[in-house]
Amino acid sequence: MMEANKTLVMEFVLTGLTDLPGLQVPLFLVFLVIYLTTMVGNLGLIFLIWKDPHLHTPMYSFLGSLAFADACSSSSVTPKMLINFLSVNHTISLVECISQFYIFASSANTECFLLVVMAYDRYVAICNPLLYPMVMYNIFCTQLIGVSYIIGFLHPMMHVGLLFRLTFCKSNVIHYFYCEILQLFKMSCTDPRVNMLLIFVFSVFTILIVLISYTLVLLTILKKKSVQGIRKAFSTCGAHLLSVSLYYGPLLSMYIRPGSTQSDDHDMMDSLFYTVIIPLLNPIIYSLRNKKVIDSLTKILKRNI
């Protein structure tokens, strides 16, 4: 009888980063600046790559695709968070909540597979620089990007489908700034162990692929006999290694630690890092360390001044 009398939750309340009224406007301004900078950086990088024929190469095609995934990832989370900073009503419907999760998960998954493709690209560039144009030709690169996006957008559909098997009849308050899937599991009246197992298995699988790919790249660099060769190799893929190390630290902490007692506040900081900060940092990491991008930007600015 008690189970039958439970009311199914069809709407949630996002508490956000803090409930202190005095911090809402300052946090809104901070994250608005971060979001605008993120969009300008990522969309600007895409425009730069599209505009300059010298950047129409495999490496920059991958960077442009990664920038688009970062822009989608940030846009799936930050606008709703900004609205909630200034709004009294922090509600989000179940459909909106699942949609937000799907868009973010699709963008994040796509980014993971693009990083694997970029690792292969750098591996070929380091091991076989003379054969690089024949191995990484344009049609093949386009196919790799397409496959990354297809897998990235198909994989979360399975988790979304499994979310619909859950019923939510506990508290409707999500102590988070977006609809994070682990938080939804905590609020489920249906046993979410199947969902959690699949999240764990696919997270381990995806993260292992990326880490193994970049470990092979790193080992290949270290096998270079000359210091100059190592330096040149690191300049070729140093940005990739930095981006991967920043991105997967929080993900490892969040999704590959079943039964962890880590606090929700700590989880929220990890989530904030890879949903908001990483999309901001990626165009900076890949642009400021890249002479061709800087030269291209300088030429366009001089042409328009």
Q: In whole angstroms, what is the distance from residue 272 CA to residue 124 CA?
A: 34
Q: In whole angstroms, what is the distance from residue 217 CA to residue 233 CA?
A: 9
Q: What is the mean pLDDT of the chain?
A: 83
Q: Which amino acid is at 198?
A: L
* pLDDT at position 52: 86
In a domain, 2, yes or no: no
User: 180-207: per-residue pLDDT in tens?
Assistant: 888 888 888 888 889 888 888 888 888 7
Structure-model confidence comparison of residues 127 and 241, the more confident one: 127
Query: Running DSSP on this structure, what letter comes out for residue 54?
Result: G
pLDDT grade for 145, boundaries at 50, 70 and 90:
very high
In a domain, 35, yes or no: yes
In a domain, 258, yes or no: yes
Domain around 288: 10-304
Residues 6 or more apart whose CB falls under 8 angstroms from that of 261 comprise none
In a domain, 79, yes or no: yes
Task: Tell me how many domains the chain contains.
Answer: 1
In a domain, 5, yes or no: no
Beta bridge mates, 305:
none
Nearest Cα to 166, choosing from 175, 150, 179? 179
15: CATH = 1.20.1070.10
Strand segments, DSSP code E, in the chain are 11-14, 91-93, 173-174
